[in-house]
Amino acid sequence: MRPKTTHTLLTPRLRLVMLLILQTFLATSEAKTLALPLKSQVIPSGYLPRPPNKLRFHHNVSLTVSITVGTPPQNVSMVIDTGSELSWLHCNNTTTTRVIPDPLFNPNHSSSYSPISCSSSTCTTRTRDFPIPASCDSNNLCHATLSYADASSSEGNLASDTFGFGSFVNPGIVFGCMNSSFSTNSDSDSNTTGLMGMNLGSLSLVSQLKIPKFSYCISGSDFSGILLLGESNFSWVGPLNYTPLVQISTPLPYFDRSAYTVRFKGIKVSGQLLNISGNDLIPDHTGAGQTMFDLGTQFTFLLGPVYNVLRDEFLKQTNGTLRVLDDPNFVFQIAMDLCYRVPMNRSELPVLPSVSLVFDGAEMRVSGEQLLYRVPGLVRGNDWVYCFTFGNSDLLGVEAFIIGHHQQENMWMEFDLVEHRIGLAHARCDLVGQKLLGLG
């Protein structure tokens, strides 16, 4: 029996600036487009509480968006995560007037803030995000506990308030208002307030706002890109190839039914399909081994038997062009054990074999610099250390295929929740962002 399926929320170590485009059917029947800034921030380890199915990592990028919450509106910055359900904010419950900008949300300064009673059906909604079920506190309010990445915890109440996207407001959004007693890190300038849950769960922002479709496109060249909530019928994006979302009606112990799960069919290297057993690519009878797209994870992690086949083939095809690190004591991010030494005076990487992830009806081709990631700050002699951007799930204790956002760079990714499918198309995401800027 496979162990419980888990996946990762990654903390950022790089800085990027992107563009958020919202198709604002959320607040008006007449379709309009609104542009808002989206960027990443350095978030200290342990700053963000995470659900129990999220693991701790370093050297990673998370995508954040700035919105407003409350009345009058307070600016908050939230990590976007398609692998989590409940949105939550770090809350500051002091009643004093703020003198300087505070990255925390203060419910006492919002006239539209409403805590949720523990007798409410919302409080009894089952969610995988809580290791301990929500309960009643001394004030008969819905009390929730989240785990920190450093094994400590944060507690708070479920509540509702108005979420604003530019000039469009959406009242009554349920979220977690978590206590602000977290560890700070002096080398961080993080202003991140919380997390925006975007999976298929009933409490996710996607479900609460009844969003029928959302899309995103992440550039790998200049870290620009877009996120769209709503329709994305642009002729210049190109035709999409769709892969159906896997849906099961019977609960299985290790299958996350709220995740964006697809059918994994195989892997190609340099266009040639690898010899991988079909049984290694599908969930077992417990539901463990599903394949999910997770915007809250940077890299891609494959089950051990599949990863080993890919690793061996990639190693074979780069023999003679790249020098293997050959250090059995070094594994990047716990699970990425194929690393290379690249001379610091080398202007660019050699030509690399492409890797294509094959899904039911669609493929995702990963090539060039997407395949190797330079480990920040690590030097061996006169060489940088680069690691293969696919990792071994088994080394994480994770029995799932997790497709991270690094492999999704320069792909138009459309999540169609009405037709229950994901559309993929290769795109120049930097150019897509420039074209959409002209729509404002």
Q: How many domains does the chain have?
A: 2
- Residue 34's Cβ-side half-sphere holds a number of Cα atoms within 13 Å equal to 19
Query: Does residue 201 sit in the same domain as residue 282?
Result: no
Residues 294 and 424 in one domain: yes
Residues 247 and 171 in one domain: no
Under 8 Å between Cβ of 43 and 11: yes
Residue 137: active-site member: no
pLDDT tens figures, 349-363: 999 999 999 999 999
Q: Determine, yes or no, domain membership for 232.
A: no
In this structure, the answer to whether residues 92 and 195 fall within a common structural domain is yes
Predicted confidence (pLDDT) per residue in 377-429, tens digit: 899 999 999 999 999 999 888 889 999 989 999 999 999 999 999 999 998 88
Domain that holds residue 166: 17-211
Looking at residue 256, what DSSP letter applies?
Answer: -
| Residue written as token pair 């607040």 | 27
Asked if 355 and 304 touch (Cβ cutoff 8 Å), the reply is no
Q: Is the pLDDT of residue 334 over 50?
A: yes
Query: Which residues have C-beta within 8 Å of that of residue 227, sequence separation ≥ 6?
Result: 18, 19, 20, 21, 38, 63, 65, 80, 214, 215, 216
Write the CA distances from 23 to 28, 34, 169, 212, 394, integer angstroms: 10, 7, 13, 11, 40
Q: What is the pLDDT of residues 171-182, one digit of tens each?
A: 999 999 988 544
What the block records as the tokens of 341 is: 């030494």
Please answer whether residues 380 and 352 qualify as being in contact, where contact means their C-beta atoms are separated by less than 8 angstroms: no
Q: Has residue 33 got a pLDDT over 80?
A: no
Kindly state whether residue 427 falls inside one of the protein's structural domains.
yes
**Which of 162, 194, 211 represents a domain boundary (last residue)?**
211
pLDDT band at 185 (very low <50, low <70, confident <90, very high): very low
State pLDDT tens for residues 297-326: 889 999 999 999 999 999 999 998 999 998
Spatial distance between the Cα atoms of 240 and 242, rounded to a whole number of angstroms: 6
Give the CATH number, domain containing residue 251. Answer: 2.40.70.10
Is 100 inside any structural domain?
yes
291 vs 258: CA distance, rounded Å: 12
For residues 184 and 218, the answer to whether their CB atoms sit within 8 Å is no
Residue with tokens 């409350």, as numbered in its chain: 70
Is 81 a residue of the active site? yes
Which residue among 129, 161, 256, 294 is the active-site one? 294
Catalytic pick from 81, 129, 161, 416? Answer: 81
Burial 169-189 (b: 16+ CB within 10 A, else e): bbeebbbbbbbbebeeeeeee
66 or 15, which is more confident?
66
Residue 137 lies in a domain: yes
241-269 pLDDT tens trace: 999 999 998 889 889 999 999 999 999 99
Q: Do 205 and 250 fall within a single domain? A: no
Asked, for residue 225, whether it belongs to a domain, the answer is no
| pLDDT: which is higher, 238 or 99 | 238
At residue 131, does pLDDT exceed 70? no
